[in-house]
Amino acid sequence: MNKLRVGVIFGGRSGEHEVSLVSASSVISALDKEKYEVVPIGITQEGRWVSSAHALRLLKEKMGLDREPERFLVPEPHRQGLMSVNGEQPSQLGLDVVFPVVHGTYGEDGTLQGLLELANLPYVGAGVLASAVGMDKIVQKQLHKEAGLPVVNYAWFLSSDCKKEPKRVALAVEKKLRYPIFVKPSNTGSSVGISKAHNRKELLEALALASAYDRKVIVEQGVNNAREIELSVLGNDYPIASIPGEIIPSNEFYDYDAKYVDGKSTAVIPARVPKPVVKRLQQLAVRAFTALDGAGMARVDFFVRKGSNRIYLNEINTIPGFTSISMYPKLWEASGIPYPELLDRLIALALERHREKNARITTYQPRNEWYKRP
């Protein structure tokens, strides 16, 4: 059998650029070389596409990229592969499936998925709609609330208002929510731009920070005595959820440094919660996934209040981290699906979804050619 040619896309114009590089390194290392031929596809922080065996190393080192050949995808369904700048498509640059590992803006938000749809390439993970909604914390909250899922109270504002009238925004927040509260840009991941505010001074600082990252800011009610519980979801039309795991952050909350830098946060897998709570978390994780029309994979994050075990849905991540310490693969490994098998399943789900999409009718023949009339 011929090997499947898998294009792994990483990097990107995002505040999560470095996280993406580490995720891609793990994915590329774990893909079975007997089954797959890996085509590394790097996107620099400036948005330049490069593809070579050295692309990942060069993006990490931020050196020598100007000497690499520029190759990119085009929205042409008959190409289905990378093109060089001069318009040529060498045979080795054709792709069978794409594995996007671009976290955050221009990768996880539906923009890259839209390009892959136009190119008619199968790809791992959520489609355009679920990616865009999953990235936008405000729209995601609205849809999950409409679906009857337990979300915390929140308020949202335009960043322009946060900059022009920060005191008025702060007053509106204080009328609706109680300290402590969390202030977040609506469209970032990896806790970039997120702050926890305990008073008016910290709230004003948090609004200024969050509004620098996105055009919208969401402010969420903090949950006292909360445990951070995460589950992984896998599947298309009939998704399943993993066992839950608990994050014990090294900082006051699970910020960027606690996730990636200081190495002191710990994960408890499985989370020590009663069996009825595990079952409820799994049900809610699948409901959160399907409410957004998810596909392939997602990590769903919850808060569980200590003592009462009351559950709050925090958010869903449609391209979860794939680093060696990331919860998504670790939860599935603890649930009985080792990392290489998980990648196999995700690629199979991508191909399945693509076949089903291409089997649908996308044309219509009118009874007469009315559209040709002057």
Quote the CATH superfamily of domain 153-221.
ATP-grasp fold, A domain (3.30.1490.20)
Taking each helix axis as running N to C, give the angle between helix 128-135 and helix 111-118, from 0 to 180 degrees, rounded to the nearest 10.
Answer: 170
Contact 326, 23 (CB under 8 A): yes
Length of the chain equals 374
> Closest by alpha carbon to 31, among 362, 346, 290, 372?
346
Beta strands in the chain (DSSP E): 4-11, 36-43, 49-50, 71-73, 82-84, 97-100, 154-158, 181-185, 195-197, 216-221, 226-235, 240-241, 245-248, 266-268, 296-305, 311-317
Contact 306, 225 (CB under 8 A): yes
Contact 115, 73 (CB under 8 A): yes
**What residue has token string 């004003």?**
204
Q: Strand 4-11 to strand 36-43: parallel, antiparallel, or no bridges (unpaired)? A: parallel
Contact 292, 248 (CB under 8 A): no
Residue 235, strand partner residues: 296
Residue 363, strand partner residues: none
Rounded to whole angstroms, how far apart are CA atoms 336 and 333? 5
Q: What is the DSSP string of 233-265?
A: EEESSS-EE---EEEE-SSSS--HIIIIIS---
Q: What is the pLDDT of residue 90?
A: 56
Rounded to whole angstroms, how far apart are CA atoms 272 and 34? 38
The residue ranges of every structural domain in the chain are 4-124, 153-221, 226-337
For residue 158, the one-letter residue type is L
- Reduced to 3 states (helix: H, G, I; strand: E, B; else coil), residue 210 is helix
Give Rg (Cα) of the chain: 22
Class (C level, CATH) for 4-124: alpha beta
Contact 219, 157 (CB under 8 A): yes
Contact 259, 265 (CB under 8 A): yes
Structure tokens at 365: 């023949």
| Confidence (pTM) | 0.90
- Reduced to 3 states (helix: H, G, I; strand: E, B; else coil), residue 104 is coil
> Closest by alpha carbon to 43, among 54, 31, 55, 53?
55
Question: If one looks up domain 226-337 in CATH, what number appears?
Answer: 3.30.470.20
CB atoms under 10 Å from CB of 92, counted, come to 11
| Successive 10-residue mean pLDDT values, the chain, 374 residues | 91 90 95 95 92 90 81 86 70 84 92 96 97 96 97 97 96 96 84 89 96 94 94 98 91 51 76 97 98 97 95 96 89 96 98 94 80 77
> Closest by alpha carbon to 283, among 189, 154, 150?
150
